[in-house]
Amino acid sequence: YQYGDDVRNIDWNKTAHFSEPYVKVFEEERELTLMLLVDVSASQNFGTRKQLKKQTVAEICATLAFSAMAN
Protein backbone atom coordinates (compact mmCIF):
# COMPACT_ATOMS: atom_id res chain seq x y z
CA TYR A 1 0.00 0.00 0.00
CA GLN A 2 1.25 3.45 -0.89
CA TYR A 3 -0.15 6.83 -0.02
CA GLY A 4 -2.78 7.76 -2.60
CA ASP A 5 -3.97 4.19 -3.30
CA ASP A 6 -7.73 3.79 -3.27
CA VAL A 7 -8.85 2.54 0.14
CA ARG A 8 -11.60 0.48 -1.52
CA ASN A 9 -8.92 -1.77 -3.08
CA ILE A 10 -7.36 -2.82 0.22
CA ASP A 11 -7.52 -6.57 0.80
CA TRP A 12 -8.69 -6.54 4.40
CA ASN A 13 -8.24 -10.30 4.96
CA LYS A 14 -4.55 -10.21 4.02
CA THR A 15 -4.07 -6.95 5.90
CA ALA A 16 -5.44 -8.52 9.08
CA HIS A 17 -3.41 -11.71 8.59
CA PHE A 18 -0.02 -10.08 7.89
CA SER A 19 -0.49 -6.89 9.97
CA GLU A 20 0.53 -4.89 6.93
CA PRO A 21 -1.75 -3.25 4.34
CA TYR A 22 -2.16 -5.10 1.02
CA VAL A 23 -3.87 -3.74 -2.07
CA LYS A 24 -5.73 -5.90 -4.61
CA VAL A 25 -4.24 -5.77 -8.09
CA PHE A 26 -6.78 -6.07 -10.90
CA GLU A 27 -5.60 -7.50 -14.23
CA GLU A 28 -7.62 -6.91 -17.34
CA GLU A 29 -8.68 -10.10 -19.05
CA ARG A 30 -7.64 -9.78 -22.67
CA GLU A 31 -8.39 -13.22 -24.04
CA LEU A 32 -12.13 -13.26 -24.54
CA THR A 33 -14.14 -15.46 -26.85
CA LEU A 34 -15.98 -13.74 -29.69
CA MET A 35 -18.74 -15.51 -31.57
CA LEU A 36 -20.41 -14.12 -34.66
CA LEU A 37 -23.69 -15.82 -35.53
CA VAL A 38 -24.90 -15.33 -39.08
CA ASP A 39 -28.09 -16.33 -40.85
CA VAL A 40 -27.06 -18.44 -43.85
CA SER A 41 -30.53 -19.36 -45.03
CA ALA A 42 -31.84 -18.79 -48.52
CA SER A 43 -33.04 -15.31 -47.54
CA GLN A 44 -29.40 -14.18 -47.77
CA ASN A 45 -29.41 -14.73 -51.55
CA PHE A 46 -31.27 -11.45 -51.99
CA GLY A 47 -29.56 -8.15 -52.63
CA THR A 48 -28.78 -5.37 -55.03
CA ARG A 49 -26.93 -5.45 -58.34
CA LYS A 50 -23.74 -4.58 -56.51
CA GLN A 51 -23.70 -7.46 -54.02
CA LEU A 52 -25.88 -9.97 -52.20
CA LYS A 53 -26.84 -9.75 -48.54
CA LYS A 54 -24.58 -12.70 -47.70
CA GLN A 55 -21.57 -10.86 -49.16
CA THR A 56 -22.40 -7.77 -47.09
CA VAL A 57 -22.74 -9.89 -43.95
CA ALA A 58 -19.38 -11.56 -44.68
CA GLU A 59 -17.69 -8.15 -44.96
CA ILE A 60 -19.28 -6.94 -41.71
CA CYS A 61 -18.20 -10.10 -39.87
CA ALA A 62 -14.65 -9.79 -41.20
CA THR A 63 -14.49 -6.15 -40.09
CA LEU A 64 -15.76 -7.04 -36.60
CA ALA A 65 -13.31 -9.94 -36.31
CA PHE A 66 -10.30 -7.82 -37.32
CA SER A 67 -11.44 -5.09 -34.93
CA ALA A 68 -11.73 -7.60 -32.08
CA MET A 69 -8.25 -8.98 -32.78
CA ALA A 70 -6.75 -5.48 -32.82
CA ASN A 71 -8.34 -4.53 -29.52
Sign of CA dihedral 54, 69, 28, 31: positive
The string of pLDDT tens digits covering residues 21-38 is 888 888 877 777 889 988
Distance, in Å, from the CA atom of 69 to the CA atom of 71, rounded to the nearest integer, reads 6
**Is 0.75 topped by the overall pTM?**
no
**pLDDT-derived band of residue 8, with 50, 70 and 90 as boundaries?**
confident
Residue 21's alpha-carbon distances to 6, 12, 30, 65, in angstroms, are 12, 8, 28, 43
Sign of CA dihedral 56, 59, 63, 64: positive
Is-contact 65 34, C-beta < 8 A?
Answer: yes
